[in-house]
Structure 1
């Protein structure tokens, strides 16, 4: 980036400066208050838009030189592009749609890099070296480190928020998995312990329980058979008892057979007598109205449509009056005979059935056999209960073993997740992939710094992996003012070189002693000769301009804000 002309008017201490830049290195010198720093800040503000010495754009009117109302700065780039600043508005413009390099603030202000925080330095160097810290690149590096592919895929969306967010999320996931492990085990997590942890299992011999189902099946079969046998015996016993009861009933009925037969015969004979009496009375009943024959005095009565002689019988009327009584007696006797006939039939049937049952009844079942079978059944039940309890105990032990194995597997899975997430977190930590990528960015930077130290014979400057700046092994904060200036100058040049801007602006070079100034100019001359720098602007307080220079270096004297011809002091 070659600056070809500077035109500045009424900017802080610069009243008017309009100079073409014809040499790669241009030195602006003058006494204190001559406007050197104002000139440097004017260039920086025009090119970057960063306000200097004021905090807000609306305060830019304060940058106008005292006594003036307006000011401007124009910086010409490559003889065709102009970056301009107008005061008091503080507005900057750039012609030709030119895009200024992102690293430009670091070469216009040599202390810019060391003022950044470590994270900001890291971000800038990534950008400077064109390192891609995007999702695809980080994913590739994680997989190359052997990180779990599935977990890496889950993590990828977090990179929208940057390395730190993804790193913290992976650490949180590892902590979550440790909590899962603690919940499963009830113990404090330890990496070595977790790798070999196993849940406690009850001790039992699987072979001893292997035949229990078969033995239970055999017992169930024997129980069923014994139940059936006892049921048969009890059914036989009940049938015998029922038959014996019926036999007793039938014997009782059969034992009355003779009595019933005698009673029936007696009642049948008596019935016959009474039936005869009733028939006799009914035969005389028509004679109640008999009249004597007028011819022979024979009693005649009408019967069946004809007259019949009625034998004279004394007391017929009195006997006819008892006919209802006789008929009632006949009725009662008929009922008794019918009942006795049925009872006799029942007795005869009972005697017949009794004879048949006595033949079929057989021997009385043995109670001792039933008792023995009952005892055997109870023993089988007790044996089965004992065996079932034993099997239940084995099943519970097997369940506990299965649960223990599952807990062991889950705990191991949680431990493996802890290790997987921890590996990802470690890879995303500052010393992991970011550190590796940073090393890729730092290597060319530190190599350039090493080259600069060799040329200038200044103390070597190093940017460490944790983004601290050191010179000669000492922290930047511990360096002297001149040591810090040398470090800033070499850092600015290294950034200029790596970004291919080839521009560096160095103010207050008068902090160096004469030897240091000579080393600086020799270094810049060497860079210009090698085509490694297009423009170097140097500002410093001097009593006089140096007399002997390379053809690559131009010098200008500033006095009261104006570039003038240098005159020797009186």
Structure 2
């Protein structure tokens, strides 16, 4: 990236600077406060679009020279491109092509090329990011997978993280950290404790194990007692049914005995009532029938006998035989009269007295008929009761059931129910213990899995972290970088600069923080030149070169000259007592009072 022209107006303490660059190396010197740093900042801001002395856009106006409304910086390149910065809006307008930072490599290296000390000031992760971009060592999924396998990670974790590796190690690391955090949260939710590696390693839920045989035996005991209860309840139902049948039989026997007891009395009453009924019926029929003659042999014989007796009386005295005959005949007629009435009434209409009695006789006949019907009904009831009683009391009878038998069985069922409750409680207790033990085992297992997830995802996060697999990959890619650092260090005659896989910077083995100011400047210079050359940027701004001794300054310029076309533009800033001289290799510029002038031949410099 060869700069051909730099124009800066009203930028900080720089009133006007117009630099037309004809060589690859430009030495820009001046006294303290002359405007060197302002020119460097102007060039850096125009190239990167980022301010160096203010952070917020609202402060861009502070970069404009006091008393001026605006400032402008324009940088032109040999390929026709140009970058123009205007303040106070802070916008950089590119002409003739894309911006300087379009490539990832350039975007990573440009800040270091513009400010070499920024690499050492960056964090190890930021250094890795820049070197990743520089070396182009990306995330090869197969290579990453193999490295994760070598770290002992299970395939399921590897399969989960590999798709994210393509988006970059930071995304994969963030996802692994998130999953590890979620696993810690799940462990805490399950255990109620804060996760810790040592605590979680052997964490378990204590619970006494329960033998399955004991549960099966308890179930068998419950079933056995339940079967006994069912059998006893069935027996109780049968016993109560028999007891009820027995009580009903006794009641029925008592009722039948009561019904059969008046049988003989009912028979006698029925006979008497039947005679009375016949007598009253005849009398009613006699009165009701009227004067109809009596018809029949008996009546004819009675009439003849009566006639004979009547005719025999006038014939004188009778002997004893005759008197006997008459006496027997009279007795027979008396019997006839007693049964059929006097022959004198034969064919005689009923008297007024008889007719007067007839309603009463008819009422008596009706009452007597009902009495006989009732007697016959009662007789049937008593006769049937006697027959049923005989059927109930004769033959084989069922065994009697007492109240004590029923009460005893009820008490046995009650005891069985108590026993059933006890064995059920024992079974429930064993099952609860078994559930607790199973839950404890399951919680222990889940906690172990969550802990395994925490460890695995933490290992994945560590592997995806900049000092993990990226560092391993970068370590392999650092060899050409360190080779170039070594090459430039030798060219300058300075201590060997190296970058370790942990991103430590050393000079001949001494860590950067232990180096002197000039040693650190030389390390920054070698790193910036190396990164700029390897990235293809081939541009560097080296400020404060006056920290070097005269020998060191000569070594720097010899180095820059020796790099040839590996560096297109090297702008070197520093404080000097007077203007330096220009030659065909180094073009010198002197800044004084905020303005720039071309220097005399460099060989004449003091």
- Tell me which interval the TM-score lies in, with the shorter structure as reference length: 0.7 to 0.9
Measured after TM superposition, the shift of residue 317 of structure 1 is 1.3
Question: 1:418 corresponds to which residue?
Answer: 454
Question: 2:251 corresponds to which residue?
Answer: 245
How do 1:106-145 and structure 2 match up within 5 A?
Answer: 106-114=112-120, 120-132=126-138
Alignment of 1:360 onto 2:395: yes
Contact 1:227 1:377 in 2 (8 A): yes
How do 1:69-468 and structure 2 match up within 5 A?
Answer: 75-77=76-78, 80-83=79-82, 85=84, 96-97=96-97, 100=100, 101-102=106-107, 103-114=109-120, 120-132=126-138, 146=153, 149=156, 153=160, 163=170, 167=173, 170-171=176-177, 173-284=179-290, 311=348, 316-362=351-397, 364-365=399-400, 367=402, 377-378=413-414, 380-433=416-469, 435-436=471-472, 439=475, 444-462=480-498
- Within 2, Cα distance between the matches of 1:87 and 1:210? 90
Question: 1:298 corresponds to which residue?
Answer: none
- Within 1, Cα distance between the matches of 2:64 and 2:580? 36
Measured after TM superposition, the shift of residue 340 of structure 1 is 0.7
2:394 aligned counterpart, secondary structure: helix
Contact 2:141 2:165 in 1 (8 A): no
Question: 2:528 corresponds to which residue?
Answer: 492
- Within 2, Cα distance between the matches of 1:241 and 1:73? 128
Measured after TM superposition, the shift of residue 241 of structure 1 is 3.3
CA 1:93 to 1:63, structure 2 compared with 1: closer, same or farther past 3 Å?
Answer: farther
CA 1:321 to 1:136, structure 2 compared with 1: closer, same or farther past 3 Å?
Answer: farther
Contact 2:145 2:162 in 1 (8 A): no
CA 1:524 to 1:343, structure 2 compared with 1: closer, same or farther past 3 Å?
Answer: same
Say which of 580, 593, 597 aligns to 1:562.
Answer: 597
- Within 1, Cα distance between the matches of 2:443 and 2:141? 36
Contact 2:8 2:17 in 1 (8 A): yes
Does 48-57 or 212-221 show the bigger shift? 48-57
- Within 2, Cα distance between the matches of 1:117 and 1:353? 120
CA 1:13 to 1:564, structure 2 compared with 1: closer, same or farther past 3 Å?
Answer: farther
1:562 aligned counterpart, secondary structure: strand
Gaps of 5+ in 1: 287-307
- Within 2, Cα distance between the matches of 1:86 and 1:211? 92
The C-alpha deviation readout for 1:232-276, integer Å capped at 9, x for no partner, is 344334333322332232233323111111111111111111112
Measured after TM superposition, the shift of residue 226 of structure 1 is 3.8
State TM-score, norm by structure 2. Answer: 0.71
1:199 aligned counterpart, secondary structure: coil
Contact 1:13 1:34 in 2 (8 A): no
The C-alpha deviation readout for 1:44-94, integer Å capped at 9, x for no partner, is 566555668898777887499x9xx999855442xx435365889998666
- Within 2, Cα distance between the matches of 1:127 and 1:471? 24
CA 1:319 to 1:201, structure 2 compared with 1: closer, same or farther past 3 Å?
Answer: same
Contact 1:60 1:87 in 2 (8 A): no
Gaps of 5+ in 2: 101-105, 293-344
1:354 aligned counterpart, secondary structure: helix
Question: 1:20 corresponds to which residue?
Answer: 22
Contact 1:456 1:523 in 2 (8 A): yes
CA 1:278 to 1:152, structure 2 compared with 1: closer, same or farther past 3 Å?
Answer: same
Question: 1:291 corresponds to which residue?
Answer: none
Measured after TM superposition, the shift of residue 285 of structure 1 is 8.8
Contact 2:580 2:604 in 1 (8 A): no
Measured after TM superposition, the shift of residue 422 of structure 1 is 2.5
Measured after TM superposition, the shift of residue 36 of structure 1 is 6.6
Aligned length: 535
- Within 1, Cα distance between the matches of 2:38 and 2:429? 94
Bigger radius of gyration: 2
- Within 1, Cα distance between the matches of 2:407 and 2:388? 32
Measured after TM superposition, the shift of residue 109 of structure 1 is 4.0
The C-alpha deviation readout for 1:451-486, integer Å capped at 9, x for no partner, is 433443434445566766565677767654423322
- Within 1, Cα distance between the matches of 2:259 and 2:46? 144
Measured after TM superposition, the shift of residue 107 of structure 1 is 2.5
Question: 1:303 corresponds to which residue?
Answer: none
How do 1:49-68 and structure 2 match up within 5 A?
Answer: 62=65
- Within 1, Cα distance between the matches of 2:281 and 2:411? 70
Measured after TM superposition, the shift of residue 323 of structure 1 is 1.2
- Within 2, Cα distance between the matches of 1:25 and 1:481? 23
